[in-house]
Structure 1
Amino acid sequence: MTTIHRFFEHLSPKTQGYLLVLFTMCVWGSFSLLSRVTVRWQVSVWDVIAMRFAFAAIILLPILWLNKDWRFLLHWRAVVLAIIGGVGYSCLVYTGFTLAPVVHGAVFLNGMIPVATALLLWLIFKIRPDTDTKIALIIISLTLCAMAAMILMGAYHFNVGDVIFVSCAFCWAAFSILLKEWQFTPWQTMCSSVIWSALIYLPIYALFIGFSSPDASWHHLAIQGIFHSVLVMIVATVTYAMAVARLGAFMAGGLSSLAPFISAILAVPLLGEPLNMVMVLGLIGMGLGTVQPWRWLGRRKH
């Protein structure tokens, strides 16, 4: 671990950011697939969310206590980050995956994150997108228009899950922007998201929802609980926050959103999910707008 840490520290900030994004992509790509599998495994999304926050809080609370570094949790900004990027996003995204296939999440959630990020930056901070961002937004907008035309012709029927995914995109974009603007450290971001999300969600779960997966096997529950709490809630939150600090909200959010496009393609053979022409068009257009390959071509010329 020491050797890996030394190697990482010797890299440039941008290279560190890209490696952090790569790891985050792997976790988020698996997140899409495992979230969809909850339906087959008969695991309730409300139980997954409860395990996500409870397990992560159990791990982090002793560390906070030993380090005596918890005063940042008392700031109202920590609560806002947890509501937007923790409880709010989790409830929306898990519900979305129970109602729509993985490919819909890739198109309407991850594909919309660059649009939502640019729009919120302009509305809140009056920051206009640069040239590369404008090109990406044009591609994504044209893709959405083409998809809308095909939907009107009856090639596809828009459903509630798709609407939820679009809401998720704006939720995550707001979280990314505030994270960068308020300059929370990765540790503070992770702890704020975990602790406050647990304090908000778990009492509601205990009082009004309760355990809702009586037909699920214990090992399926364990897999979902460990993955969504440790890898997604703790590890990926830190790596994403570190990537945002090094690359910015648009670049980190855009590159990280590439992973679900890959998982959407994998979901076809692995989960047997359908893939029609509307979704293929969405994957191609949103993927181009997200990856922005012309940026890399421009750098090579210089």
Structure 2
Amino acid sequence: MTQDTLPLKGLAYALAAVAIWTGFILVSKAGSLASLALPDMMMVRFGTAFVLFSPFIWQHRAAILQWRMLVLGLIGGLAYALSVFNGFANAPATHAALLLPGLMPIMIAVFAYFVAGERHSRASWLGIFLSSLGIMALLIETFTSGSQYWLGDSSFVLACIFWGIFTVLLRRWKFAPWQATLGIIAVTFSLFAPVYVLFLPHHILDATWQMVGLQAFYQGVMATTIQMVCYGRAVHLIGATRMGSLMALVPVFASSLAVPLFNEAWSLGLTIALVSILLGTLIGNLPISRILYRISSTPYYYK
């Protein structure tokens, strides 16, 4: 494979992850509205994945049974999922669509700089800065308007912190994406399932079997497994920072679909956040300096 095809292949994996993550936001919010509580969502997500992929988990047990994989599972599996599902239970899908993929590039860039030693271009930092302005506008609106969404928004922020750490560690420790995915499933299920069965309330029977089936398929297969593999491959091929920036494309699709699907209100803070994140994504990912150079060096002929 040539050097030129690597970014293209990485971009394809990244766009697949973007599409699946958009669906994850919508499906997760639908589940929280269908009487599925946070513990139920966790159990459906990781229980389904564990049952389906247990033969592969056993096959790769040597790679999974090590302390680094335990750390990845605790951060990118258990801590992230608990935070994000608590967010869905306490905030609209539009907030999730903007905060999760909008704040992740910021967290990933910071941790990549200090932990993995990645250096970012001026265009990347400018894109991150613009996205940060939009995120701040939405958070300020939430915390100053007396909205009850502050707990959900805070949970989304915490989830982004966990995901940023996980992404950088995944790249630094160079686990194969498939092994990392299996490790996260195994670690999270092993730690959470006993607590769920013995101590936590169960509301799965309160939802329809269609909703439970949808959650099992999307959470346990698409979001937990396929999306993780695509995300991990993209991180290895195009870098953690660029992958994080491309995830900011999710708000365009998720927020535009969440409003009609869940009858959610739109606000000024959401508008500012969406525009800022889009601008930040474009500036952070497009080769602006190369484009400007080509424009300035192109001869103009007037007829």
> What TM-score, normalized by structure 2, do the two folds share?
0.88
Q: Which residue of 1 aligns with 2:89?
A: 98
Q: Structure 1 residues 220, 158: CA separation in 2 closer, same or farther (over 3 Å shift)?
A: closer
Q: Which residue of 1 aligns with 2:300?
A: none
Q: C-alpha displacement at 1:143, in angstroms?
A: 3.2
The answer as to whether partners of 2:127 and 2:284 remain within 8 angstroms in 1 is no
Instruction: Name which of structure 1's ranges 132-141 and 119-128 shifts more when overlaid on structure 2.
Output: 119-128
Q: Which amino acid aligns with 1:290?
A: T
The answer as to whether partners of 1:155 and 1:278 remain within 8 angstroms in 2 is no
Please give the alpha-carbon distance, in whole angstroms, between the structure 1 residues aligned to 2:137 and 2:60: 51
Q: C-alpha displacement at 1:93, in angstroms?
A: 0.5
Question: What number of residue pairs does the alignment pair up?
Answer: 293
Please give the alpha-carbon distance, in whole angstroms, between the structure 2 residues aligned to 1:112 and 1:259: 12
1:1-302 correspondence to structure 2 within 5 Å: 12-65=5-58, 68-125=59-116, 127-144=118-135, 146-147=137-138, 154=145, 159-292=150-283, 295-301=286-292, 302=294
Q: Deviations over 1:152-195 (max 9, x none)?
A: 87597761111111111111111110010000001111111111
Q: C-alpha displacement at 1:207, in angstroms?
A: 1.2
The answer as to whether partners of 2:115 and 2:168 remain within 8 angstroms in 1 is no
Q: Which amino acid aligns with 1:53?
A: F
Please give the alpha-carbon distance, in whole angstroms, between the structure 2 residues aligned to 1:107 and 1:172: 15
Please give the alpha-carbon distance, in whole angstroms, between the structure 1 residues aligned to 2:212 and 2:136: 40
Q: C-alpha displacement at 1:107, in angstroms?
A: 2.5
Q: Structure 1 residues 9, 24: CA separation in 2 closer, same or farther (over 3 Å shift)?
A: farther
Q: Which amino acid aligns with 2:155?
A: I
Q: C-alpha displacement at 1:240, in angstroms?
A: 0.6
The answer as to whether partners of 2:251 and 2:274 remain within 8 angstroms in 1 is no
Task: State the superposition RMSD in angstroms.
Answer: 2.5
Q: Deviations over 1:8-32 (max 9, x none)?
A: 9998111111111111111100110
Question: What is the SS of the residue equivalent to 1:191?
Answer: helix
Q: Which amino acid aligns with 2:42?
A: I
Please give the alpha-carbon distance, in whole angstroms, between the structure 2 residues aligned to 1:140 and 1:294: 13
Question: What is the SS of the residue equivalent to 1:111?
Answer: helix
Please give the alpha-carbon distance, in whole angstroms, between the structure 2 residues aligned to 1:81 and 1:102: 26
Please give the alpha-carbon distance, in whole angstroms, between the structure 1 residues aligned to 2:116 and 2:276: 27
Please give the alpha-carbon distance, in whole angstroms, between the structure 2 residues aligned to 1:197 and 1:71: 17
- Indicate the percent of aligned positions where both proteins have the same amino acid: 27
Q: Structure 1 residues 222, 100: CA separation in 2 closer, same or farther (over 3 Å shift)?
A: same
Q: C-alpha displacement at 1:260, in angstroms?
A: 3.5
The answer as to whether partners of 2:6 and 2:237 remain within 8 angstroms in 1 is yes
Q: Structure 1 residues 53, 151: CA separation in 2 closer, same or farther (over 3 Å shift)?
A: closer
Instruction: Name which of structure 1's ranges 148-157 and 178-187 shifts more when overlaid on structure 2.
Output: 148-157
The answer as to whether partners of 1:106 and 1:283 remain within 8 angstroms in 2 is no
The answer as to whether partners of 2:34 and 2:207 remain within 8 angstroms in 1 is yes
Q: Which amino acid aligns with 2:47?
A: A
Please give the alpha-carbon distance, in whole angstroms, between the structure 1 residues aligned to 2:283 and 2:149: 27
Please give the alpha-carbon distance, in whole angstroms, between the structure 1 residues aligned to 2:189 and 2:268: 41
